[in-house]
Structure 1
Amino acid sequence: MSPFHRSLRAAAAAALAAAPLAGSAAVAAPLAQAPMHHASTGTPFFISHGGPAHTTTTSTNWSGYAATGSKFSSVTTTFTQPAVDCSKGDGYSSFWVGLDGYNSNTVEQTGTEADCSGGAASYSAWYEMYPKFPVTYSNTVRPGDSITESVSFGGSSSFTLTLSDSTQGWSRTVTKKLTNAKRSSAEVIAEAPYSGGVLPLADFGKVSFSGSTVNGSTLSNFNPVGIDMVSSSGTPEATVSSLSGGSFSITWNSL
């Protein structure tokens, strides 16, 4: 497994060092969106989830779809920002598109975050050129907002990352370089973020993605791998639906 790290406030880092991640760990946002952790029980298999068959595997931090097996230059999606239910305890979640990370050690990505800490929900948006530290935007994100995200490769190791919130009326675009990116996967993902270990997944209910494309074509054209999130013991935490063109959903199962 690749090493993962994140710059945290000193107090949060000390709290994590002193206590296990189970329960309500004290964590300072933003959190790391790490490469995919393939679950030990994650031998790929074919499953339909009620729709066309796709290869599906399991991960302890990702759920969604990942196109693999080629050089990828762009990925985009649109979704409605889900609200998190904090009554079930502290948890953390992010919703993003990116290149790399499925079978490589970098991720070029942008997304939103929805967290529960101390019974309070918080929402934000960010970009990250993993393993570099993430950058959180100051713009407002609220449940119910229409979010569009895209990442594209422009040559000369340059990536353009764009996140738009049409409900709030803002858009942010950055261009960054990463020389060792393999561009070996393109994905649309809900994630349990990482901070010294995979954190509990916030109860986001259900998130639905639409208009998902890779290299300018509909996501389903690439026969992507479906990913279900499970705990280290194999308990379902988030389950991906069947894929129809560029549309699918992810349903939260457990913290």
Structure 2
Amino acid sequence: MPAPRRRALAVCAALAAVLGNTVPALAATAPALLHAPIVATSPHLVGPHGTPITQGTSTNWAGYAATGAKFTSVSASWVEPTGLCTNDDTWSSFWVGLDGDGSDSVEQTGSEVDCSGGSPQYYSWYEMYPAYPVMFTNEVRPGDHFAASVTETGAGSFTLKLADTTQGWSHSIKRTLPGAALASAEIIAEAPSDANGPLPLTDFQQVDFTGATANGRPIGGFSPENVTMAAHDGTVLASTSPLTDGNAFSVNWHHS
């Protein structure tokens, strides 16, 4: 993994100017969110019976990230988890994407559960980082089944697809990002960031990803890195299970 890095992010007013009335009803003090590249420590190799498994720790990502090839597609499905809220404002997102591990762009789409004023807020989005996320206005509820994919179709053109098969809506977004590295493919649960770094992680309990593929193959075929989310003091925020059949895994919440 690369050395830790983080772009400076703009203030909340700038986000409002970009997203207009599509922003969900969050607290007035909500930060300008971005779903950012991985902020990570160096990985290490562990494994039973001498079989190496690459594992790493990040302050904002948990899940699987594949590197070491040119990646032009990634896909997965998941069920929107239920957010457990306290009086604290917290954030969490679930997505598939290309780039972000070893590059400064991320092409991604997914869903979210944030806590504002003690209540969970569910929504969905796509993002061509470092541009701001664009929120979809469709209804999202806990228990909704999502299917998502990001595909590079040539010359820096991308198609980002997100479908809520429970609610019966879908989006297919075409965007261009010249110079995208296509250096990684990932399926991730994330603590979104603001200008000061990763934000407190919503208690999403557990999110289950299935059908996780990269370049049309199970992501396990690329020896992806199993990423644990942990605070700088070592507190584990979210852990990632081993892969099942090379394409299914869970991420479990531990701490905000």
TM-score, normalised by the number of residues in structure 1: 0.88
SS at match of 1:56: strand
SS in 2 for 1:210: strand
Match of 1:36 in 2: 38
Structure 2 counterpart of 1:27, from 25, 30, 33: 30
* Alignment partner of 1:130 is 2:124: no
Match in the other structure for 1:2: 6
In structure 2, what is the equivalent of residue 252 of structure 1?
253
Compared with structure 1, are the counterparts of its residues 230 and 25 closer, same or farther at alpha carbon in structure 2 (3 Å cutoff)?
farther
Deviations 1:199-237 (A, max 9, x none): 000000000000111100111111100100000111100
Q: Secondary structure at the match of 2:91?
A: strand
- Check the 8 A contact 2:77/2:212 in 1, yes or no: yes
Summarize the Cα distance change of 1:150–1:10 in structure 2 as closer, same or farther, 3 Å threshold.
closer
Aligned residues of 1:9 and 1:28 also touching (Cα < 8 A) = no
User: Per-residue CA shift, 1:72-122, capped at 9, x if unaligned?
Assistant: 010000010001100373210000000000111000000111100110110
Alignment map for 1:71-90 (pairs within 5 Å): 71-87=70-86, 89-90=88-89
Q: 1:88 to 1:246 in 2, by over 3 A?
A: farther
Change (3 A) 1:210 1:222: same
Any conservation in 1 of the 2:87–2:117 contact (CA below 8 Å)? Answer: no
The 3 A distance-change label for structure 1 pair 11 and 180 is closer
Change (3 A) 1:88 1:207: farther
Which sections of structure 1, spanning at least 5 residues, go unmatched?
13-23
The answer for the alignment partner of 1:16 in structure 2 is none
Read off the aligned partner of 1:162 and give its amino acid letter. K
1:104 aligns with 2:108: no
Distance in 2 between residues matched to 1:101 and 1:226, nearest whole Å: 15
Go from structure 1 to structure 2 and tell me whether the alpha carbon gap of 1:141 and 1:83 turns closer, same or farther (over 3 Å shift).
Answer: same
Distance 1:25 1:195 in 2: 15
Q: What residue is the counterpart of 1:19 in the other structure?
A: none
Indicate conservation of the 8 Å contact 2:11/2:31, yes or no. no
Residues 120/102 of structure 1: CA separation in 2 closer, same or farther (3 Å cut): same
User: What is the correspondence of 1:97-176 to structure 2 with a 5 Å cutoff?
Assistant: 97-176=96-175
- Give me the whole-angstrom Cα distance separating, in 2, the residues matched to 1:235 and 1:35: 21
AA aligned to 1:221 is: G
> Counterparts in 2 of 1:207-218, with a 5 A limit?
207-218=207-218
Task: Tell me, in whole angstroms, the C-alpha distance in 2 between the residues paired with 1:43 and 1:54.
Answer: 10
Identical positions, percent: 46
Alpha-carbon distance in structure 1 between the residues aligned to 2:239 and 2:87: 18
Aligned-pair distance for 1:71?
0.4
Q: C-alpha separation between the residues in 2 aligned to 1:92 and 1:47?
A: 32
- Structure 1 residues 158 and 236, CA gap change in structure 2 (3 angstroms): same
**Structure 2: segments with no counterpart, 5+ residues:** 17-26
Maintained 8 Å contact 2:71/2:215? yes
**Cα distance in 2, alignment partners of residues 94 and 167 from structure 1:** 18
**Counterpart of 1:233?**
233
**Counterpart residue number, 2:220:** 220
Query: Offset of 1:43 from its aligned partner?
Result: 3.8
Distance 1:4 1:147 in 2: 31
For 1:9, what is the secondary structure of its paired residue?
helix
Q: Distance in 1 between matches of 2:163 and 2:78?
A: 11
Query: CA RMSD of the aligned region, Å?
Result: 2.0
Matched residue, 1:15: none
2:60 equivalent to 1:61: yes
Q: Do the aligned residues in 1 keep the contact of 2:111 with 2:123 (CA within 8 Å)?
A: yes
Aligned to 1:221, the other structure's residue is in SS state helix
In the alignment, the residues of structure 2 paired with residue 200 and residue 33 of structure 1 have an alpha-carbon distance, to the nearest angstrom, of 13
TM-score by length of 2: 0.88
On the 8 A contact 1:38/1:59 being kept in 2, the answer is: yes
How far apart, in 2, do the equivalents of 1:95 and 1:205 lie?
A: 13
Deviation at 1:2, TM superposition (A): 3.5
